[in-house]
Amino acid sequence: MNIAVKGSQERIVELDGILTSVGLSFTRLESTKNIHSSKFDLIFDLNFDDDASSLSDYALLDDSSLLILSSVKIQLESVLPKAMWSFAIGINALPSFLKRNALEYCSLLGGISNDKLESLPWKTLYKVDSRVGMISPRVVCMIINEAYFTLQEGTANRSDIDLGMKLGTAYPHGPFEWAEMIGIKHVFEVLNALYSDTHDDRYKICSLLKTEYLNFLAK
């Protein structure tokens, strides 16, 4: 199978671990110019919802390729021309999520053919609605945000909140552990996209989380 991958080093390393576990290799793309002439079976853009600059190159593809785009911070319909809906899907490619046995994805126009999806190395495929935040990132980032409110109010410290959530809910990680794994930049930007999309107070960002995000950007 001929696979191409575009994205940050962190996410490419994570995907590499998944693909090599089933004997697959890939070509890392520094540029997507003329990608339509390369005849890739699968094309991953792991940072598409941060940088959609390759969209005009992808528009030249056809349904002989499966285009797999990170789409947590955007809704694909708002970005992709309708001509691309038959060969593009969105996935949750936030850091740490690709390493799971399950892949969360959304597709447009009724879906993508099963043979293309079954060629992916994840044991379980979860089809979700195309929407900002998808499902797992929406829930996890909201939990992290609530943990920041608890910390800001002085109710408990980070370690106690992490331990309490793991013991009380059997979560695999505490909210601050999750935030570190995902990255405060992504947590903030997912919540910001959710709040802009829904205007739901559940996604209104804690000021302490925002401060840590701004400090991260200032480094």
pLDDT of 116 above 90: no
Q: Phi then psi for 50, rounded to 5 degrees? A: -100, -30
Q: Which two tokens mark 208?
A: 């302490």
Position 120 scores a pLDDT of 87
Which of 35-39, 111-115, 132-136 is least confident? 111-115
Pairwise CA distance, residues 143 & 188, whole Å: 12
Q: Looking at the domain that runs over 3-127, which CATH code has it been given? A: 3.40.50.720
> pLDDT value at position 118?
82
Residues contacting 188, CB < 8 A, separation 6+:
205, 209, 210, 213
Percentage with pLDDT > 70 across the chain: 98
| The pLDDT of residue 179 | 98
Domain residue limits, the chain: 3-127, 136-218
Q: What is the mean pLDDT of the chain?
A: 94
Query: pLDDT at position 111, please?
Result: 67
- pLDDT, mean of residues 154-176: 94
φ, ψ at 44 (rounded to 5°): -100, 130
pLDDT for position 192: 98
Are 79 and 119 in contact, with CB atoms under 8 Å apart? no
Lowest mean per-residue pLDDT among 49-63, 88-102, 116-130, 143-157: 116-130
Q: Do domains 3-127 and 136-218 have the same CATH topology?
A: no
115 pLDDT exceeds 80?
no
| Structural domain 136-218, CATH architecture | Orthogonal Bundle (1.10)
Confidence at residue 117, expressed as pLDDT on a 0 to 100 scale: 82
- pLDDT in the model for residue 184: 98
Q: Is the pLDDT of residue 219 over 90?
A: no
Per-residue confidence band for 70, with pLDDT thresholds at 50, 70 and 90: very high
